[in-house]
Chains A and B, each alone.
Chain A
Amino acid sequence: MNPTSLIARDELRLMRRNRVAVIACLLLVLLTLVAVASSWAHQKGIEDLRARQQHEAERAFDAQPDRHPHRVVHYGTFIFRPLSALAAFDPGVDAFTGNSMFLEGHRQNTANFGDVNQSSLLVRFGQLTPAFVLQAVAPLLLIFLGYGAIARETERGTLRVLMMQGATRGAIVRGKLRALGAVALLVALPAILGLAALAATSGAAILPTVAIVLGYGAWLLLWVTVIVLVSTLVGRSRDALLALVAIWAVSVVLLPRVATDIASAAVPLQNRLQTEVAIARDLREMGDSHNPDDPHFAAFKRSVLQRYGVTRVEDLPVNYKGLLAVEGEKVTSALFDRYSGESYAAQGAQNGIVSAVGVISPAIALRSLSMAAAGTDFAAHRGFLEQAEAYRYDLVQRLNRLQADGVTYADDTARDAGADRRKRVAAGNWEEMPDFAYRAPDGATLAARSLPGLAVILGWLVFAGASLAIATRRLGERQ
């Protein structure tokens, strides 16, 4: 057996004898199992609830009686954001984004009823998910098990003994790395198995699952390297422990919060009130639909009359009010798109700042990698919002065209007692409106989004490995 294996075996035997270490490992495995189970049950619960509510909303929409199409524009429809396949591993922003949206004409509503608004203050302490266990808890356990790996030998003078017995510096360090790496594997195994089971049962794509496994593997390997590195550099095990806990606290706990504060201070977001007022202002400048002499709508009327070769709206073969509704929705929706595009861009810039901080804190890089691959990050949420808006626009315009073709102008403007009845179109039309079908980003897209985070962590791993190689050469010199 070569010296590296011997040293690794020896280190592992020492850990096994340390009852606290064994209990801590078992507790972590237990915590991971609880996290996997509760996260999976939570996801199932949410999925069922949202599917049921979505079904209920669609049923209610289709079951509408004969109605005037414009009533249905206001009746609107509710859509519920389905969870991504890997959301049980890392739910990401799901708790913070609303999970239901009311879609109607003339208005772009917010997604409401996020978990964060329906939970106690504990939600801000973090969520117990497999991702959280691997991101925050596992590194700390590795620190507890590994801070003394080399420092202990230096402190007690056993390093000399080892080297006199013929173990090279490299063999000692590699042995310690291997032992701690084995523990890291053990610690990560339940979460990885949970992920695999999840991916298999929920039909998640292979590529993002692989990206997650690679990312967390590199993350734990990075910690193993850093722990051995610090243990090599710092002569006393207590100092090594304090230094490692400090590194952990700064990178995992402190920097993610500081980064978000920097980002939100650097790039302000326009609030909803200001956005709505600005949209109303732009609408007034483009054309006032309440003003019969408004140039924009007068020009629109002229163009319609010209197209059909008539002189009065009453002579049009279609309902002018429906055409007007189509035009109005087109104008307002263009503005919605512009303002939400600006808001998305600002939020993207904020996330860019956080990612930049992520270059010095691989914990941030890992978080974005994990969320991106799980399809639970801002980009995925934005994709949902954009699809929702596209669907809303399409649905409203179908209804407006139904008003143009299915209701006559004479009926639509009539005010006699029977007019209400004549304005309605048959209930069968509602069933023909398409239902909202969310198209989740495919595996390749998700995996591609996770690449920047993966690159940062691998970069750190290379850097830490090189530092350790240099530190190894000087091992035992300062005594």
Chain B
Amino acid sequence: MTLWRHEARLLLRQRLAMIALALLAVLTVAALGAGMAEVSRQHAAIAAIPAAQAEDIGAIAAWVDREKDAGSAAYYSFHPTWNAPSPLAFAALGMRDVSPYILRVRALGLEAQIYDGDTFNPELALPGRFDFAFVLVFLAPLFVIALCHDLVSGEREAGRWRTLAALPYGGAALWRRRSLLRLGLLSAAIGLPFALAAAMSGVSPGAILIVLLLVLAYLLFWVGLCALVGRLRWSSVANAATLAGLWLVLVLVLPTLGHVAINRAIPVNQGAEIALAQREAVNRAWDIPRAETMRRFYAGHPQWADSPPLETAFHYKWYFAFHQVGDESVAKQVRAYRHGLETRDEAARTLGWVLPSVGVQALLTRMARTDLTAQLAYRDAIRHFHRRLREFYYGYLFRDRPFGKADFERAPRFDAAP
């Protein structure tokens, strides 16, 4: 134990090491603060939905109530959906800055609505966010390198290594003590602020523990890399240059190469083609006999088939039927598009098993539910909600029931946690 205390005292006297540890702790705290501020902004935006929505729907209800036309109600009412940030989202914001977390939909064709984005500044999205995941994945390895690159070579250059190696508990044991001490302190500089912030945000103890283990494992990887390079018995400065080069390759170059390779190997037929095809299908309905549309619609949805036949005048049930038929006509492309996205995501995850930087980022964003999988899950939730919306309005349209002010209250509400 005295040996450990002695090592700690030695480390404390190194100005560079102490500055590095303090700087890492400060960066971690800043990143956690920035992440928590962003998450609270997103919570505030979601909390502001009901008031805005009440005003909007209230105005529509006021004039629809005069004619009580269910079609107008369905056509003009937008219904909000949202994807609340998970408790851990502050640590890895992932895609939440570029993918919408609030989306309003109407009972009309969903394929023309579901890919809409929210307002964001592309120039701010380009460099990425300053969050905990960034500090851990990108910056922490540099601190490991700064503290561990000269553990043996530094002593050798000072002419002390032979003496140290000859001492009891010297040599390899000494190196182990020093490495573990540095690993422990670096992990603490990152882990303690994180654990505190996570506990404040209501992250479950199990998840906190997993992230802490992840931090430890990732730093251990870099300490191990330092040890491997150290075994080459090069000078301290050659070690530092080699390790910084490895960092560049592992954290910056290989992930970007992987991105190019994945997008090349797994082509995703552009989503824009779905939108084009759906529009064609929807608008064609105006140029073909209306009965044909209704036949197709009733074939898929027999529960409404007993609705009275169309007359010459415009009827909204036909309008909504052809929107749904339009959606259904591109279902196959939608599945293929989604499958392509999932395959790309899967390939990146596989790369994460080989590249620790990618692996840590993937795991953190998965746990924080801020990755592509979470985005697709949100889309699923929107689809589910949209089905309920359609069912709700069809109950009025196909049964020719009047739609009054009170009926607006009965419309389904998005349930964020299905």
Chain A interface, >50% SS class: helix
Task: Tell me whether B377 is interfacial, beta carbon within 8 Å.
Answer: no
Contact of A272 among B30, B118, B146, B312 (CB under 8 A): B118
Verify B124–A260 contact, CB threshold 8 A: yes
Beyond A110-B116, A280-B59, is A378–B122 a contact (Cβ under 8 Å)?
yes
Q: Taking CB as reference atom, which chain B residue is nearest A265?
A: B37
- Taking the complex as formed, is A264 at the interface, i.e. its CB lies under 8 A from any CB of chain B? yes
Q: Does A302 contact B (CB under 8 A)?
A: no
Residues of B within 8 A of A253 (CB): 138-139
Check A38 against B260 for contact (C-beta < 8 Å): yes
Bound CA span A338–B310, Å:
42
The residues of B that contact A65 with a CB separation of less than 8 Å are 287
Q: Hey, what's the 0/1 contact readout for B232-245 against A, CB within 8 Å counting as 1?
A: 00001110111011
CB A342 to nearest CB in B, in angstroms, measures 11
Contact size range, B: 35 or more
CB contact under 8 A between A277 and B52, given known A75-B283, A114-B98, A122-B259: yes
Assembly CA distance A148 to B240 (angstroms): 12
Which of A91-99, A193-201, A212-220 interfaces with chain B?
A: A91-99
- How many chain A residues sit at the interface, stated as a range, is 35 or more
Whether A116 and B125, one on each chain, are in contact in the complex, defined by CB atoms closer than 8 angstroms, is yes
Nearest Cβ on chain A to B132's Cβ, whole angstroms: 12
Pair B244/A140 contact, Cβ less than 8 Å: yes
Interface status of B224 (Cβ within 8 A of chain A): no
> How far is it, in angstroms, between the C-alpha of A100 and the C-alpha of B259 when the chains are bound?
22
Residue of A nearest to B259 (CB): A122
Asked if B312 and A416 make an inter-chain contact with CB atoms under 8 angstroms apart, the answer reads yes
Contact of A241 among B98, B237, B259, B341 (CB under 8 A): B237
> Is A275 among interface residues, defined by CB-CB distance under 8 A?
yes
- A34–B260 Cα distance when bound, in Å, is 10
Q: How far is the CA of A343 from the CA of B115 in the complex (A)?
A: 21
CA distance A254 to B313 in the complex (A): 64
| Leading 9 A-B pairs by shortest Cβ distance | A120-B348, A93-B122, A125-B255, A122-B259, A128-B256, A96-B122, A257-B130, A256-B127, A100-B272
Q: Which of B78, B236, B351 contacts A276 (CB 8 A)?
A: B78
* Cα distance A357–B272 in the bound complex, in angstroms: 37
B200 at the interface (CB under 8 A from A): no
Q: A281 contacts B55, CB within 8 Å?
A: yes
| Interchain CA distance A269-B264 in the complex, whole Å | 34
Q: Could you tell me which residues of chain A, from 232 to 285, have a CB within 8 Å of some CB in chain B?
A: 237-238, 241-242, 245-246, 249, 253-254, 256-261, 263-265, 268-277, 280-281, 284
Closest A residue, CB atoms, query B133: A124
Do residues A347 and B121 form an inter-chain contact, with CB atoms below 8 A? yes
Pick the interface stretch among B191-199, B204-212, B358-366. Answer: B358-366
Q: Is the CB of B273 within 8 A of A118?
A: no
- Contact A273 B102, beta carbon cutoff 8 Å: yes
Residue of B nearest to A74 (CB): B283
A336 at interface, CB cutoff 8 A: no
Q: Is B344 an interface residue (CB 8 A)?
A: yes
List the A side residues contacting B34 at CB < 8 Å: 261, 265
A-B contact pairs, 9 of them (CB 8 A): A112-B272, A115-B263, A121-B372, A122-B259, A122-B351, A125-B357, A136-B252, A260-B128, A269-B119
B2 at interface by CB-CB < 8 Å: no
Cβ of A38: which chain B residues have Cβ within 8 Å of it?
Answer: 260, 264
B373 to chain A, nearest CB (A): 10
Q: Is the CB of B98 within 8 A of A125?
A: no
Which A residues between 40 and 56 are near B, CB-CB below 8 angstroms?
Answer: 42, 49, 53, 56
Quick check: is B327 within 8 A (CB to CB) of the other chain?
no
Contacts A127-B256, A257-B130 given; indicate if A269 touches B121 (C-beta within 8 A): yes
Instruction: State whether A121 touches B371 (Cβ < 8 A).
Output: yes
What 0/1 readout, one digit per residue, does chain B (247-271) give for beta carbons within 8 Å of chain A?
Answer: 0100111011111101110001011
